[in-house]
Amino acid sequence: MSGRAVALVGGATTPFGVRPTTWAEMAQEVGAALFRAVPELRTDEVDSLFVGAAEPERFAFQSHVAPLAAEQMGLRPHRVIQRTELACASGQSAIRSAYAAIASGLSDVAVAVGVEKMNLPSMAEANTSMGCVMDRPWDGPHGATAPPFFAMVAQRHMLEYGTTEEQLAAVSEKNHRFANSNPHSQFYSKKFSKEKLLALPLVAPPLRLGDCSSMTDGAAAVVLASEELVSRYTDAPAWIRGTGQYSDFHNLAHAGSLSQWPGLSVAAREALGRARISVGDLDVAEIHDCFTISEIVEYEALGLCGPGEGGPFAAGMSAATWSSTLAAACSVAAIHSARPGSPRRSRSTASSRSRSRPPARHPTRSGPSCTISRAARTSTRSWSIRPGARRERGHQDPAHVRHRRVPGAPPGRGRGTG
Amino acid sequence: MPSDRPKEKRPFLLDFFPLEGPEQTRLSRFFDRLREGRLSTTRCSKDGELHWPPRTACPRCHSEELDWVDLPETGTIYAFSAVLGGAPLGLEGDVPFSVGLVDLDGASLRLFGRIDGRPWTDLKVGGRVGVEPYALEDGRVFYRFRALE
C-alpha cells in the first residue's frame, strides 16, 4: 500500500457484558487498561484519537463523544480527533481511519477506541434505538430491527443452499467455546452445547436466542504507530497490510438476494490485493458474527469457501481447534506482520510464511491452521503480539496477553519518563 | 382504512412513524396518496428510474424532476421472519408479528413491510400478499401487507 507503513503496537479491552457502569466510565477504564498494556506509551505522544461509537446519542444520551473520550482517557489529541459511526463496523472504522491518518503523514501515533453502552433500564427503548440503524421512517415503522433482517438472510440461505439450523448452531457453539477461554467475554463461564443452543427459544425464526449476539457493554482500544516509531512501543508489531470497504445498501428494499453479500467480496478482494496475499495464505481470520448466519455468509464472501458452502464450512470450523494465534485478517483489515521490503520484518513471520498452509477449503479436509474466532466483542483483551506467539496455544495461556518486552529489543520510553 | 396504532403519541425521537405534513417533508404527497388508498412512489421523468422509497432527486441522474406513480397492490413474499420478542416501543403489544420482503407484481421493487393477516407459521416464501394502507390514531397514515391466502 502507498504511504507510510502502519502497525498496531498494543491494545486493551474492558470486560464485556451487562455492566454496572456508564459510557464515560468505560472510556476511563479502557484508557487505564491501554496505558497499562503499553507502558512505553505516553499520553502526550498520542497525537490523534478515533472514537468508534454506534449510537451513544440513543444508548447513553450523549453526542460529541470524541472529545468526551479524549478527556476520559487523559488525552489531548492535536492532529486528528473524530468519531466513526457505522453500526457494527464503528470500531473497525476507527482503526481504519487511524491507519489512514498515519499512512498519510497526518498522524504519527494514534489511538482507536470503541465504547458501547447498550444495556438500558428499558429493553423496549434499547430495541427502539436498534431500530434507528435501519432506514427509520421507511423500515422502522414495520418493526425492522437486526434480528428479523438477519433471519431473512438465514431463511434465503437455507432455501437456496440447504443450510441448516444445526450449522447455524455450530457457529454459535464454536464462538461460545472460544469465549470460554477469554475472561473478558460476556459468556466466559457459560457453556453452550449444540443441543442446548438448538433448544433455546426462537427470537426471529429461524434464528434462536443463541444465534443472536447479546446486548453488551464494553470498550476496546488499540494504539497504532508509524513505521518510524513502532520500535518505541513493541518489538513485534502487527502491520496493517491491506484494508477494504464497501457500502452495499441501507434501505431494506435494496438488500439484494440476502443470501450473498457481494459488497463484502469487493472489500475482501481489495484488502487482500493491497496486502498482496490470497485468502489461502491466511492462518487466522476473525469474522464478525452479530448473528450466526452472518459468519456463514461472510465465509463465502471472503472466499474461505465457495458460494453456498458456508453451512458445511461452519460445521467443519466448529470441529477445528486452536492451532495458531497470530492475527492475520478480518472482514475489513488484512493484517500481516511485515510489508514487502520492510526492514522491520519481525522474527515471528519471517519464518511463518513457509510454515503456513492454506486454510481448509472443504470441511471434510483436515485443515491444519484456519481458525475462525469470534469478533472483537468476545475475543479481545489486553494483548501485544510478540515473537513466537503463533507457536503457542496462546488464547488458553493468560501469560501471552501480557505486554512483554523482549530482551535485546530497541529501548522504549517509559510513560512519564520523558 | 383501519386504525389500530399507535395508541399514544410518543416524543418524535421515540416514534418510528415519519412526520408527513408539507411543512415537514417534500414527500407529503406520498402520504396524501396513501390516505386515498394508493401506495405510490417517484419515477424520474428524465431517465425513467423507479425509486423506493420515494425521493426528491434521482440517485442515478440527479434530476429533481420526478413524477408520482402508483405501485401494484399485490405481490409475493421473497423472505419473511417474525418478531417474537424484543420489539421496539409502541410495537411491544403487537408481538408476535411478521415482517417480510415482498416482490411487487410487475414492478422491479422489493419492499419491506409488516405482513398481517396470518400467523408467521402459516406464511411461506412465494405466498401472496396485498398492500394495505392504514391510519394512525393521530391522523397519520402508513402501509403494511396482508396475507391473501
Domain end: B54, B71, B88, which one?
Answer: B71
Distance (Å, whole) CA B24 – CA B34: 17
Residue of chain B with shortest Cα separation from A58: B13
Q: Is the pLDDT of residue A212 over 80?
A: yes
Is B115 part of any domain?
yes
Is B58 part of any domain?
yes
- Distance between start and end Cα atoms, chain A: 33
Residues of B in contact with A203 (CB under 8 A): 84-86
Put simply, the answer to whether A136 touches B88 (Cβ < 8 Å) is: no
Q: How many CB atoms lie within 10 A of CB B39?
A: 18
Q: Which of A72-86, A188-202, A372-386 has the lowest mean pLDDT?
A: A372-386
Distance (Å, whole) CA A310 – CA A304: 9
3-state secondary structure of A369: coil
On whether both B89 and B138 belong to a single domain, the answer is yes
Question: Hey, which residues 134-153 in chain A have their CB within 8 Å of chain B?
Answer: 135-145, 147-148, 151-153
Whose grid coordinates read 452445547? A193
Residues of A in contact with B111 (CB under 8 A): 253
Residues of A in contact with B88 (CB under 8 A): 124, 127-128, 130-131, 140, 143, 145
Please count the structural domains in chain B. 2
Over residues B73-83, the mean pLDDT reads 98
- The pLDDT assigned to A321 comes to 46
Put simply, the answer to whether A202 touches B142 (Cβ < 8 Å) is: no
Q: Which of A41-55, A206-220, A377-391, B56-70 has the lowest mean pLDDT?
A: A377-391
**From the list B111, B114, B125, which residue is nearest A143 (CB)?**
B114
3-state secondary structure of B32: helix
Whose grid coordinates read 480527533? A81
On whether both B62 and B86 belong to a single domain, the answer is no
pLDDT confidence bin for B5, thresholds 50/70/90: low
Q: Is the pLDDT of residue A207 over 70?
A: yes
On whether both B144 and B76 belong to a single domain, the answer is yes
Contact between A208 and A171 under an 8 Å Cβ cutoff? The reply is no
On whether both B93 and B127 belong to a single domain, the answer is yes
Put simply, the answer to whether A205 touches B81 (Cβ < 8 Å) is: yes
Show me where the domains of chain A are located.
6-401
Tell me the sheet residues that pair with B74: B130
Q: Does A204 touch chain B (CB under 8 A)?
A: yes
Closest-CA distance, B28 to chain A, in angstroms, reads 13
CA gyration radius, chain A: 20
Residue of chain B with shortest Cα separation from A256: B110
Q: Which of A32-41, A112-121, A391-400, B54-63 has the lowest mean pLDDT?
A: A391-400
- The pLDDT assigned to B19 comes to 95
CATH code of the domain occupying A6-401: 3.40.47.10
Which residues have CB under 8 Å from B11's CB, separation 6+? none
Over residues B114-134, the mean pLDDT reads 98
- The pLDDT assigned to A3 comes to 87
Task: Give percent of chain B above pLDDT 90.
Answer: 86
Is B110 part of any domain?
yes
Supply the ipTM of this predicted assembly: 0.95
Question: Hey, which residues 309-348 in chain A have their CB within 8 Å of chain B?
Answer: none
Distances (CA, A) of A136 to A69, A133, A185, A214, B18: 28, 7, 31, 22, 8
User: Which of B21, B73, B70, B23 has its CA nearest to residue B42?
Assistant: B70
3-state DSSP of A318-333: HHCCCCCCCCCEECCE
Distance (Å, whole) CA B10 – CA A400: 51
Q: What CATH number does the domain containing B122 carry?
A: 2.40.50
Put simply, the answer to whether B114 touches A142 (Cβ < 8 Å) is: yes
Q: Is the pLDDT of residue A184 over 90?
A: yes
Q: How many helices (H) and strands (E) does chain A have?
A: 16, 12
Contact between A34 and A8 under an 8 Å Cβ cutoff? The reply is no
Distance (Å, whole) CA A350 – CA A224: 21
- The pLDDT assigned to B4 comes to 59
Amino acid residing at A320: A
- The pLDDT assigned to A35 comes to 98
Residues of B in contact with A130 (CB under 8 A): 88
Q: Provide the residue range defining the domain that includes B52.
A: 18-71
Q: How many CB atoms lie within 10 A of CB A120?
A: 17
Distance (Å, whole) CA B122 – CA B147: 9
- The pLDDT assigned to B8 comes to 62
Q: Is the pLDDT of residue A408 over 80?
A: no
Q: Sign of the C-alpha dihedral, residues B35, B36, B42, B46?
A: negative
**Which of the residues A135, A142, A153 would you substitute to probe the B interface, choosing the one with the greatest number of B C-beta atoms within 10 Å?**
A142
Contact between A113 and A220 under an 8 Å Cβ cutoff? The reply is yes
Could you read off the pLDDT of A27-40 as tens digits, one per residue? Answer: 999 999 999 999 99
On whether both B42 and B88 belong to a single domain, the answer is no
Is B7 part of any domain?
no
Could you read off the pLDDT of A132-171 as tens digits, one per residue? Answer: 999 999 999 999 999 999 999 999 999 999 999 999 999 9
On whether both B39 and B90 belong to a single domain, the answer is no
pTM: 0.84
The mean pLDDT of chain A is 81
